[in-house]
Chain A
Amino acid sequence: MKSENDVGRVSVKNGRYKIKGKFHIIEPNTPIFDDNGKLCGITNPRDMTYIHSYGGEAIFFESLSKGKLMASRCDNPKCESKDSIFMPFRIYCPDCLRKNTVIDITDIAKKTAMIHSFIITERSGAFNTLKKPIKFINVEFKDVCTIFMGYLSVGEPKIGMRVLPIFQTKKPTYTIMDISWVPVGTPESELPEGFTL
C-alpha cells in the first residue's frame, strides 16, 4: 500500500483535473527463464491509477453517502416508456433519449426490496475488498422496471427474501460498495462497520 501522502488524489479546478500524489510506481522488469535456464520472456510491472468521471451518475454515488438511493424516471409524455423508473440509475431514457428525472426511491426500497436472484462465491479477482464468501444479490423493487445488483452483508440470501438497503455513511468510498443489503429485521448492531440503515 502507498503511504497516505503518496495516494494519488484528484480535484477539479476551472474544468480541469489537478492531480497530486503518486499515480504510478516504477518497478524493474524481471526475466522469465524456462526449466533449462533459457530466456523465454519478461515481466512488465504496471501500477497505475485511472481518473474517472461519474458524469450525470455522480448524484447517485454521492447520495449513497447520505443514506439515499436515487433512481431515475422517464417523464417524457411522448415516450412509450413514460413513468418507467430505472435502477440502476440511467441518465437518459433508453427509448426516447430524453434526460430522466432524478428521484429518491429510498422509501420504496425500504418497503418493497426483495431478492430476485443471488449467488454465493468464495472466488474473487485482484483488487477485491469485499469479505468472502461474497453474497451477490439482485434486488427488485415495486414499480421499478429493472433489477439492481448488490451484495448482502448479513444472513443467507433466498429468492423472494425481503431486504433493506444499508449505506456506508461514516466512511464513504463513493463507489457502489457504499450500498449493501440486510434481511428485514436486522438490528443496527449487526451492520458492518460504517454502515447505517
Chain B
Amino acid sequence: MIKFSDKQLKIPKMARPVYLATSGMSRFGRAFPTLRTEELCIEAFTAAADFIKMTPAELKQYIHTAYYGHFADHFGDQLLGEAVIHDRLGLDPLGTIGVKTGGATGGSTIWEAIKAVASGYSDCALAMGWERMDEVPTDEGNHLIACAADKDWETPLGHIYTGYYAVMAQRYWQIFGKAEDSFRKTMAEIAVKNRGYGRMNPYAHGGMKITVEDVINSPVVAYPLRVLDCCLMSVGAACGVVCDEKTAYELTDNPLRIWIGAGSHTLRVADRRDMKIPLLPNEEPGLYDDLGKRFPGGDRYPGFSSFLAARIASYYAYNMTGVVDPCEDLDVIELHDAFTISDIQSYEDVGLRPYGEGRDYIESGDGYHTNPKTGKPGRLPSNLSGGLIGCMHAVGATGLMQIAEIGYHIWNRWAEIHGDEKKWKKFGREKPKDWTDLQVKGAKRGLAISHAGVGSHVTATILMHPNHLLKED
C-alpha cells in the first residue's frame, strides 16, 4: 500500500496497562562451542529471576503463556527449536508459540507477549529470544542470512545479504551524506561510540577502544561500509517478563510500563513505491516539501534511504504513549545499528531529526552518554549497551537485549548489572581499568527499536516509569 486509511492508522489500544516486571540476558559471544542453546536461555531466565530476587522456579509459577523468538531454524538444523527451549525451561504444558521476523524477532516476540497480557488472555507472559549463528561456517551463514531476501530475485545474486542492504547505504551516502568526508567521519564516530560503550558491558563481545581513523582504514565490506561499520554476528539469549498491574506488583515493587508499535514494509527494497512521508507528532505538514531541492534525488520516499516500517512503528508507539518529541520526552534509546549508516537513517525514521538531517544527532553530541563537545550529559544517549555493533546481534535475542538495557537505566540499576567484577570473571572477560558507569541519571522513559534486515519488520517499544507517564490511560 502507498495510501493508508484512517482504520489502518488507528492508534493501537491496549485493553489494560502492561508492565515489564523483569528482564535477563545470557553472555553474548561469536561462538560457544561448549554451550547448548538451552544453557544460554536458562542463563537469561535465571538472570531475570535473580533481578527480582526470586528463584527461577518461583518466577515460573507466575508465567501463563510463553513467546519465543528464534529467527533462523536452519542455522541450528532444528525445526520447532521453540518447543525444545520451552521444555528445557520446564514450562510445559503452558501455551507457547514461536515468532520469526528476521532482525526484529526479539521485538516482535515481546509484541506478542504484550498483546497477550493487554487483552487479558494472560496475566504474566514470558518473551524469550535467542540465536545460534556459530554452527555453520561463515560463508554458509552468509548464504543462510541471504535466504531472508527474495529467494528467486535476490538470493542467487551473491548469496550475501550485505549486498542487498548496502545499496540503501550507498544511496543515502550519496544523496543525504553527499559523499562528504565529514559524513564518512560521522559514520565512523558511531562505530567508535558504540564499540566504546560495548567495552563497559560484560555481556558484550564487540567492545573495542578504537579511533575514527581505525574505522575509516578498516577493510571494505561494501563501500562505503567497512568492517568496523558493521554489526556483530552473535550467539546468546535474552528475555523479558510482562504482566498486568496486579501480577507485576506481586513480582516486584518497581515494574515499568511497556507499550509497543509495529510496522512493516516490502521484503525486497525493489518493490518500494513512492509515497507521501507519514508525519510523526513532532513534524508539521509541509516540512518535507523541499526535501528534493535540499537533497537532489532525495524526493522519493521511502526510496532506498528510509525505513517506512520504522516510521510507522514509531508513529503508533509515540501516539500510544504521548511522546511528541522523542529528544525531549525520552531519556535513553537503543537503536538497531546494523550498520553505522543505517543507524543514521533510523534517527530520521524515528523522529530524532527530520529526514536529511540525521547526522546532526551525532555531530551535536546528543547521542552520547556524555556529550563530547560540552562534557555534559548527552540529550538522548543511544546504544549505551554497545548496540549491535559493540554488544551483539544474536538476532532473536537482540530486541529483547535492547529492552532489558533500557529497563536497567530506568530501574537505575545499570551499574549493578554491568559493573559487578564477579560477572566479568564468570563470563571470562576482563573488566576494563577505565570502566565507566553509563547509567543515565534520572532516566524515566526510553525507546528500543527492533528492526529486520532492509526494513521488512520493525517494532518500537517504549518503557516508562509508572510515575512519569506522558499521558493518562
Question: Chain A residues in contact with chain B, CB under 8 A?
Answer: 32, 34, 40-41, 44, 46, 52, 54, 57, 61, 80-81, 84, 86, 88, 90, 94-95, 116-128, 130, 134, 136-138, 145-151, 159, 175-177
Contact = CB atoms under 8 A, between A and B. Distances in A.
B139 A57 contact: no
Contacts of B297: 159
A117 B221 CA distance: 16
Interface footprint category on B: 35 or more
B465 interface: no
B174 A159 contact: yes
B284 interface: no
Contact of B157 (A32, A116, A159, A176): A176
A124 B158 contact: yes
Contact of A149 (B2, B140, B174, B270): B270
CB-based closest 3 A-B pairs: A125-B159, A125-B142, A125-B143
Residue from B141, B144, B268 whose CB has the most chain A CB atoms within 10 Å: B268
B249 interface: no
B162 A146 contact: no
Contacts of A123: 142, 158, 160, 162-163, 221-222
Contact of B160 (A117, A134, A159): A134
A116 B304 contact: yes
21 contacts: A41-B33, A88-B268, A117-B167, A117-B170, A119-B163, A119-B223, A120-B223, A124-B142, A125-B141, A125-B144, A126-B137, A126-B143, A127-B143, A128-B143, A136-B166, A147-B269, A147-B304, A149-B157, A175-B152, A176-B153, A176-B157
A44 B77 contact: yes
Contacts of A137: 167
Given A119-B166, A146-B273, A149-B269, A125 B153 contact: no
A122 B145 CA distance: 17
Interface string B140-183: 11111110001111101111111110111111001000000000
Nearest to A140: B300
Contacts of B164: 136, 149
A151 B164 CA distance: 11
Q: Which among B34, B160, B166 has the greatest number of chain A C-beta atoms within 10 A? A: B160
Contacts of A94: 1, 271
B423 interface: no
Contacts of A52: 151-152
Contacts of A130: 157-158
Contacts of A32: 33
Interface string B174-196: 10000000000000000000000
Nearest to A134: B158
B274 interface: yes
Interface of B: 1-3, 33-34, 77, 137, 139-146, 150-154, 156-164, 166-171, 174, 220-223, 268-274, 297, 304
Contacts of A177: 156-157
B50 to A, nearest CB: 27
B3 A54 contact: no
A133 B269 CA distance: 22
Contact of B163 (A40, A41, A54, A121): A121
A137 B33 CA distance: 39
B222 A176 contact: no
A88 B171 contact: no
Contact of B166 (A57, A80, A121): A121
Contacts of B1: 94-95
A146 B166 contact: no
A130 B156 CA distance: 9
Contact of B156 (A44, A147, A175): A175
Contacts of A149: 153-154, 157, 164, 167, 268-270
A54 B166 contact: no
Contacts of B150: 88
A49 B296 CA distance: 46
